[in-house]
Structure 1
Amino acid sequence: MNRGIPPGFWEVMNDEPVTGSILQSLTEDLDNGKVIYRSWASPINISVKTNNNNYCWKSSAFVTRKLKELYELNGKNSVWLLLGESLKPILDFEGPVLMRSGGFA
């Protein structure tokens, strides 16, 4: 797996068999953060843009997937341990949620 910018470029150019994505907490040291989720996919070698679009869409589900898993395992309070208590008043909303269709959840 290649690292850095541009993402997915060398996997396509070198016709490599896999493109990787990582969800990682950031620290001051570049590679010292905790790896939260890791995934691999076969590159789409039609173009760098197509490959990038494919794994960006796949990677976009990582955060919600891991937060849901954390919530299901440990309850709501464990999410605040991960995100930090400072976000709790913003995200801990119990009222109705307006959906795009115009209905309420």
Structure 2
Amino acid sequence: MAYLTHVQTRHGELPEEKEWEWVVHAFGEQGPRLAERLAATVRAWDRHIRAEDNDRHADPVLTLHPAGTPDELLPAGDVLDKEHSRLVFRWPGRTGHLPAPARHTGTIAATAGDS
């Protein structure tokens, strides 16, 4: 399992004085491989999508849908099926595959307990 989060690296009174950094955490035997794959995806998104949209500084969006929601009713994105829900991760500006090394592998079946 790997996930992306952010931490504040510079504090300040005003928003422009603050800085945040994306961080990948990973667990398990495949953790290092998954962490690198997720980090590569974020780097590719930052270079090829976010850099082209400096005005909006759009960040990834996560939506939660009930388990059993048909694929055609889900927004476009990477789907993680859980026991009681379907998570859809969307990257702004991404309508297809990002340039290598990141690639979309379709729906991921969850093996861990539902959160």
Confirm or deny a common fold (TM above 0.5). no
Which structure features the higher share of helix residues? 1
Larger proportion of strand: 2
Normalised to the residue count of structure 1, the TM-score between the two structures is 0.29
TM-score by length of 2: 0.27
